[in-house]
Structure 1
Amino acid sequence: MQNNDNSGLMSIYNAKNVSIIVDSTSLFGFQAGDMVSWTQAEDNVNLVIDAQGTGTGSESNDKHGTVTIHLSQASPKMKDLNDLLAASKYFSFTAKSDNEMIESKHSWVTKAPDGSFSNTLTARDWGLTCVNLGYTVLTA
């Protein structure tokens, strides 16, 4: 819930209110810390400046991006991502909190996680490539 009256409290965040859905399956069993991270590959507008200093903006239609899902090595959902990787199947992806959403209708698991075995659980970072990665700030 957001507070727009500038009283000092912007909102309250709870990681339990975040849902991460891959191929209609809700993921759980994340590492300590980040659950998911993302980046858009290209800027929305590229600026070209000519020799006399005149600028022209060129809108990019390339909205692809990458998503990294940070699972614990003990997560039972590792099998689901491994199956998607092995099948080279595309799927929808959504990560949503109370005030933000990132989504793509066409995504692939393109990278199996790097890893190690240790004296404690370690993270398994699964790489997704998304054709049209959309970011939305939700209204409260």
Structure 2
Amino acid sequence: MAKWNYDATDVKVIADNEPMYGYQPGDMVSGERANNTEDYDVDAQGWGVFSTNNDIHGTITINLSAGSPANLKLMALANAHKEFTLSVTTPHERVYSNQAKIQKVPSFGAGTKTGVKAWVILCIDYNDEMNE
């Protein structure tokens, strides 16, 4: 298997068909499913059964600089309560949702630095795919 190299400039975040840019230093974007996809029940005698949970909702957080023009797009989506598509692509992974909405407008702050706008996006269909 070939070694996977990483370059942050290869990461693409697209919300409602518009590229996001102007990230905060550190993590640009992160996400996770809300539930385990597999679970089990075991009785007192040790008999068990696996269960598949088909609820695949999750969240994706986009960390933008407060000075990023991309905040305007996300604010417009939040104010319109609009459902939209969201895609995060790296050279070896793609996380996406066809049914996403802004959970809430990020908190406000002003100080010696620009600050961060952490946009938490709810995804009814949180999908994660990896490739070579």
Equivalent in the alignment of 1:19: 12
Shift of 1:109: 0.7
Partner residue, 1:63:
56
2:100 maps to 107
After TM superposition, the structure 1 = structure 2 runs for residues 28-107 of structure 1, keeping only pairs within 5 Å, are: 28-107=21-100
TM-score of the aligned structures, taking structure 1 as reference length: 0.91
Q: What root-mean-square deviation, in Å, do the aligned CA atoms of Structure 1 and Structure 2 show?
A: 1.0
- How far does residue 133 in structure 1 lie from its aligned partner after superposition? 0.3
Runs of 4+ in 1 over 3 A off after TM superposition: none
Alignment of 1:126-137 (within 5 A): 126-137=119-130
Residue segments in structure 1 that go unaligned for 5+ positions in a row: none
Per-residue deviation at 1:11? 2.5
Percent same amino acid among aligned pairs?
Answer: 31
Structure 2 runs not aligned, ≥5 long: none
Q: TM-score, normalised by structure 2?
A: 0.96
What's the counterpart of residue 118 of structure 1? 111
Work out the number of aligned pairs and report it: 132
